[in-house]
Amino acid sequence: MKQDKTSEGYISNKYLRELIIKFNRMNINDTGEWCDAYERKLERKNDKNNIEEDKYELSKSFILRKREQIRELQERYKNFTPEERRKFNAEFEVVKKEICDAFIKVINGRIISFKLIQGPAYEEIDDIRQEALMTLFTYINRYDEERNTSAFAFTTQLITNALNLYLGEMNKRNETEITGLDFYENLNTIDDPYGDDN
């Protein structure tokens, strides 16, 4: 699978989509446990009428397909010969490397869009990048290849959510530190009870 290299850092939607689909279809580490939580959340939304009926049906269909896809992959992998397993693992490592490189390029693009390189978040840019990457690898299996046509939009939304979450926590942390510092400075204004005056 070759990426179009019209410009440095560019990721075409077609390339990213093919990569995500291949990764999800080969991801032997995906046990499908997340499907239950996904389905429960979906049912809660439906019970509260917080989801349109057609979207509900599409999401239910996705979960059923995903469970079956994961089950088939696990079964096939279990029946591989040692040589087949070795070849599969080697190919999967290549796909993981390719998708990781692609994700980092998209993450870097969002970091530039958020202007994080110029702000106070610059010192934590590596942590931010790592958090976004972990989010992508956690949630990329929710990509529905039959419904989500834009892999780039799906990926970008996950990154944006991760960045907003990290920046919100960072702001809270900074506010706590400032409040603590103010309290400490206020204590320092009190006369020292053990000073020369006593």
pLDDT at 108: 92
CA distance 89 to 77: 10
Binned at pLDDT 50, 70 and 90, residue 26 comes out as very high
Q: Which whole number is the average pLDDT over 4-26?
A: 82
Closest by CA position to 167, among listed 109, 134, 119: 119
Ranking 102-111, 112-121, 140-149, 155-164 by mean pLDDT, the lowest is 112-121
Q: Is pLDDT of 183 > 60?
A: no
pLDDT per residue as tens digits for the range 108-130? 999 888 887 776 667 788 899 99
pLDDT averaged over every residue in the chain: 86
Q: Which whole number is the average pLDDT over 141-162?
A: 93
pTM for the model: 0.81
pLDDT at 194: 41
Q: Which whole number is the average pLDDT over 130-147?
A: 95
pLDDT per residue as tens digits for the range 88-113? 999 999 999 999 999 999 999 998 88
Binned at pLDDT 50, 70 and 90, residue 149 comes out as confident
Q: Residue 140 has which token pair?
A: 């990329």
Question: Beta-carbon neighbour count of residue 66 at 10 Å?
Answer: 19
pLDDT at 192: 45
Q: What H or E segment, with its residue span, contains residue 189? A: helix 151-189
Query: What is the three-class DSSP state of 190?
Result: coil
188 exposed, middle or buried (CB, 10 Å; 0-12, 13-18, 19+)?
Answer: exposed
Q: Tell which phi-psi region holds residue 143, choosing left (phi > 0), alpha (psi between -120 and 50) or beta.
A: beta
Binned at pLDDT 50, 70 and 90, residue 198 comes out as very low
